[in-house]
Amino acid sequence: MTALAEEKSGISLFIPEVYDIVWSLIILLIVAVFFYKFFMPKFNAIFDERARKIEGGIANAEKAQADANAAKEKYEAQLSTARVEASKIRDDARTEASHIIADARSRAESDAEQITANAQRSIASQHQQALVSLKGEVGVLATALAGKILGSELQDSKVQSSMIDQMIDHMDASNAGK
């Protein structure tokens, strides 16, 4: 093999060539400048901005949460006062209603009593009137009847009235005797 004759020894791998040094340094310089001046600052800015945004977002969320909690508490307080008010109104209404009912009942009772009293009064007076007029009519009737029975007319009004009175007394006595 002629090719193998050209094979260099392993040591030559470790002997740097001038152009290799030049190109390695140039490339290292370019790459380092790229990373130091552009790549890392750019991404650090991105990371910082992202962190700031996330922190801001968290702060905003916390504020919104606090606002919501405050609003909720406010509404709950309002709701409970409204509830208390409503129950108060209900109680008032109930007591007023019972007052009204009681009033109405007492008025109705007094009205009824009055009506009853009036009715009794008028019944009593009618009864009295009936008694009086009956007394008169019975007297006349009895006189007429007695006259017919006796065949003689009791001319004398004095006798007549005494007879009637006698008869009524008799009737009263018989009534009382019953």
The residue ranges that bind another protein (CB under 8 A) are 1-3, 6-8, 10, 12-25, 27-28, 30-32, 34-36, 38-40, 42-43, 46-47, 49-50, 53
Pick between residue 17 and residue 137 the one whose CB is nearest to another protein.
Answer: 17
Q: How far is the CB of 55 from another protein (least distance, A)?
A: 13
Q: In whole angstroms, give the CA distance from residue 82 to residue 88.
A: 10
Q: How far is the CB of 15 from another protein (least distance, A)?
A: 8
Pick between residue 18 and residue 150 the one whose CB is nearest to another protein.
Answer: 18
Pick between residue 24 and residue 166 the one whose CB is nearest to another protein.
Answer: 24
User: Cβ distance 172 to 135 under 8 Å?
Assistant: no
Main-chain phi, psi angles of 50, to 5 degrees? -65, -45
Treating both helix axes as pointing N-terminal to C-terminal, what angle do 157-177 and 40-150 enclose, rounded to 10 degrees?
A: 130
Pick between residue 4 and residue 150 the one whose CB is nearest to another protein.
Answer: 4
Measured at the CA of 101, the angle between CA 99 and CA 105, to 5 degrees, comes to 115
